[in-house]
Amino acid sequence: MKYRNDRHGEPISQLGYGCMRFSHKGAAIDIDKTEKEILKAFRAGINYYDTAYVYPGSEAALGEILERNGIREQVKIATKLPQYMISKAGAIDKDFNEELVRLRTTWIDYYLMHMITDLSQWRKMESLGIREWIDAKKASGQIRNIGFSFHGNSDMFIEVLNAYDWDFCQIQYNYLDEMTQAGRKGLEAAYAKGIPVIIMEPLRGGKLVNLLPEDAKKRIAADERGWSAAEWSFRWLWNQPGVTCVLSGMNSEEMVEENIRIASEASVGDLTERDLEVIEQLKDSINAKTKVGCTACRYCMPCPKGVRIPDIFRCYNRMYTENKLAGRLEYAQTVSLQKDPGFATDCVRCGKCEQHCPQSLPIRDLLVEADKALRPLPVKVVMKAAAKFMLK
């Protein structure tokens, strides 16, 4: 196993164990099967295990496995405070203490504010005394590193990144999300500040393996490298110095073995220009089904009314490259769950965007079309309720 250092020089395995997708037996986690998989990962050198308060049964299962094998002190636990569920200061300690009990530990190595989408969420936590709370937990040794996991756009990510002296952060990042979510812009901003970045969704929830177009699958199968679709995705990530650790939700021993093999070989700068061209070809295959020919060049921005034109078109396209649910979920995270969302309905049809679009897209008409697809009435109601809850 290869390692990359955290902000304090502590080694983190460049492959981390994502604990959200443990195998189940009926409604409960299959603890015996999960234990075999975790121990195989541990013996191979994986030392970073990521869970969260809201992953059903995950913290308790991880805590039990680590305790009964006597390996708690040899691994690093990352878990998360559900900041979107916190409305009063006392709830912070309540949830944290519950996590310590579930995990059968007295300290958390890496603690995150879970699923930040807008700076206002961090400001709310500040109003509840989170800065002082973190200081106290760090002083007592109950928290060793503090960070945040992020789902939003790159500009908002940088605002959150600069709002506090974070020890690390966690972002959704893969070759298809290079210019979305926090994206390469966010990754490089964190790297410039010396802040380690943990990567989630390296395979887009398996979609970069299971839902690839046929021509992309054939391109991979025919390539002289002999790499699988997953290996192309992982190696693209580990090729970048700003990536500290890539999480994988492994739920079979075969998957653990394969991912460990890749992680033990991959390093920064391994990919050739030809390899990167292959990645671009895979992206082109996936994007061939797009509805709007937006390249996210952002010449249309800023919109005088704050409409998030490239973000809206990206989510609209994702409805066709993947499915409706994926596009609407992305839209909720990166547009709707913002304090100033910039909906398509805010457009006043001034036409400024179209004057600068290199693709000569009829942006004003396309925004109307995209909004109807992304926010039919039932979805609009749900998104409004979710924003009210998350940004309260």
| DSSP character string of 129-153 | THHHHHHHHHHHTSBS-EEEEE-S-
Question: Is residue 187, in this structure, part of any structural domain at all?
Answer: yes
Average pLDDT over residues 219-225: 96
Q: Measure the CA–CA gap between 200 and 296, rounded to whole angstroms.
A: 22
Average pLDDT over residues 340-368: 91
Q: Measure the CA–CA gap between 390 and 120, rounded to whole angstroms.
A: 10
Q: Does 275 share its domain with 319?
A: no
Checking if the pLDDT of 87 tops 90, the result is yes
Average pLDDT over residues 180-207: 94
Q: Nearest 5 degrees, angle CA 331-CA 56-CA 246? A: 60
Q: Does 197 share its domain with 341?
A: no
Where does the chain show beta strands of DSSP type E?
3-5, 11-13, 15-18, 24-25, 28-29, 48-50, 76-81, 110-116, 146-150, 168-172, 197-200, 243-248
Q: Does 254 share its domain with 317?
A: no
pLDDT of residue 82: 96
Question: Is residue 242, in this structure, part of any structural domain at all?
Answer: yes
Checking if the pLDDT of 176 tops 80, the result is yes
Question: Is residue 26, in this structure, part of any structural domain at all?
Answer: yes
Q: Does 274 share its domain with 346?
A: no
Checking if the pLDDT of 2 tops 70, the result is yes
Q: Does 146 share its domain with 201?
A: yes
Question: Is residue 341, in this structure, part of any structural domain at all?
Answer: yes
Pair of tokens at residue 110: 């890496």
Write out the residue range of the structural domain in which residue 385 sits.
Answer: 309-390
Q: Does 213 share its domain with 335?
A: no
pLDDT of residue 133: 98
Q: Does 356 share its domain with 275?
A: no
The more confidently predicted of residues 204 and 150 is: 150
The total number of structural domains in the chain stands at 2
Exposed / middle / buried, residue 158 (Cβ in 10 Å: 0-12, 13-18, 19+): middle
* 371 three-state secondary structure: helix
Tell me which of 262, 279, 296 is where a domain ends. Answer: 279
Checking if the pLDDT of 261 tops 80, the result is yes
pLDDT band for 358, please (50, 70, 90 cuts): low
Q: Nearest 5 degrees, angle CA 18-CA 22-CA 28? A: 145
Q: Average pLDDT over the chain, rounded to whole? A: 94
| CATH classification of the domain holding 275 | 3.20.20.100
The reported pTM is: 0.85
Question: Is residue 200, in this structure, part of any structural domain at all?
Answer: yes
Q: Does 148 share its domain with 196?
A: yes
Checking if the pLDDT of 278 tops 70, the result is yes
Average pLDDT over residues 301-328: 92
Pair of tokens at residue 211: 């839902």
Question: Is residue 288, in this structure, part of any structural domain at all?
Answer: no
Q: Does 142 share its domain with 250?
A: yes
Average pLDDT over residues 294-298: 78
Question: What's the number of CA atoms in the CB half-sphere (13 Å) around residue 181?
Answer: 26
Question: Is residue 294, in this structure, part of any structural domain at all?
Answer: no
Question: Is residue 317, in this structure, part of any structural domain at all?
Answer: yes
pLDDT of residue 211: 78
Of 102-111, 294-303, 318-327, the range with the lowest mean pLDDT is 294-303
- Determine if the peptide bond prior to 82 is cis (ω within 30°): no
Q: Does 251 share its domain with 375?
A: no
Residues of the chain with pLDDT > 70, as a percent, come to 100
Q: Does 64 share its domain with 7?
A: yes
pLDDT of residue 239: 98
In contact, 102 and 65? CB cutoff 8 Å: no
Pair of tokens at residue 265: 């070989």
Q: Does 275 share its domain with 333?
A: no
